[in-house]
């Protein structure tokens, strides 16, 4: 699979690269119809190239499919790199990360559904490929930010940075997938505002992990 240095699906510019056009055209088709529901011929027609040309850039339909997923992950990576380097507190960093992640998923909801389907795989070989080609680098960015907070004494000893990252991302995924249904549950009055949701989640997490006695208790 080609090494992606910039996101194709999320770029405002139109690239003349055939591989970029293929990724941009294949993404919406895979998202709408799934891997098995899209033929290479259809992707080639949409991209304005011959089917044979696809194999000059991707050795198989599977490789193109993985390139689409990797491109989607790269788009989120750019967001993470931006928000996690901000010179703000850990709590504010995490709130920005969660809010940006939610907005990103909502903006590209079709591709997000495709990515989330892949995350459910039980195939150990495929799951390793997905981590190595797409998701691992994003998780590492969040993990590194939390580890820096541990080293700075901002997080209590014994708290797992990986667990904290999992909790934050899991909350966002649940919000994205079940927001409409969850609003009908008793006392769930915080699902309509992504910023408020992110703020509440991070406040609760920070109250549990922080080594700073000045961190306020989370809002009821």
Query: The tokens 């995924």 sit on which residue?
Result: 173
Q: Tokens standing for 68?
A: 């689409």
Quote the pTM value.
Answer: 0.81
Same fold for the pair 1-71 and 84-220: no
Alpha-carbon dihedral sign for residues 180, 181, 183, 184: positive
**C-alpha–C-alpha distance, residues 69 and 132, integer Å:** 12
**Any idea what the Cα angle at residue 128 is, between residues 123 and 131, rounded to 5°?**
125
CATH 3.90.1150.10 fits 84-220, yes or no: no
Q: What is the pLDDT of residue 170?
A: 95
Alpha-carbon dihedral sign for residues 166, 108, 90, 95: negative
CB-CB contact of 35 with 115 (8 Å):
no
Q: What is the pLDDT of residue 85?
A: 83
Class of domain 1-71: mainly alpha
Mean pLDDT, consecutive 10-residue segments, the chain of 220 residues?
46 63 93 92 92 94 94 92 87 94 91 90 91 93 95 90 96 93 92 91 87 63
Sorted by where each begins, the domain ranges of the chain are 1-71, 84-220
Say whether 155 sits in a helix, a strand or coil: strand
Q: What is the pLDDT of residue 198?
A: 93
């Amino acid at each position: 699979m080609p090494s992606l240095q910039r996101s194709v699906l999320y770029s405002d510019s139109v690239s003349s690269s055939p591989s970029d056009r293929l990724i941009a055209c294949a993404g919406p088709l895979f998202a709408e119809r799934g891997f098995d529901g899209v033929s290479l011929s259809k992707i080639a027609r949409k991209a304005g190239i011959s089917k044979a040309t696809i194999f000059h850039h991707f050795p198989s339909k599977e490789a193109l499919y993985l390139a689409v997923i990797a491109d989607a992950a790269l788009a989120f990576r750019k967001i993470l790199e931006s928000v996690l380097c901000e010179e703000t507190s850990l709590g504010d960093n995490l709130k920005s990360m969660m809010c940006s992640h939610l907005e990103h998923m909502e903006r590209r909801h079709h591709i997000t559904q495709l990515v989330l389907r892949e995350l459910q795989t039980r195939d150990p070989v495929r799951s390793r490929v997905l981590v190595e080609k797409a998701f691992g680098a994003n998780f590492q960015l969040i993990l590194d930010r939390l580890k820096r907070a541990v080293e700075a004494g901002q997080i209590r000893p014994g708290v797992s940075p990986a667990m904290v990252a999992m909790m934050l991302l899991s909350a966002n995924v649940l919000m994205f997938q079940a927001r409409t249904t969850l609003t009908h549950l008793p006392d769930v009055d915080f699902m309509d505002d992504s910023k408020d949701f992110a703020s509440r989640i991070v406040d609760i997490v920070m109250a549990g992990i922080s080594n700073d006695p000045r961190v306020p208790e989370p809002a009821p």
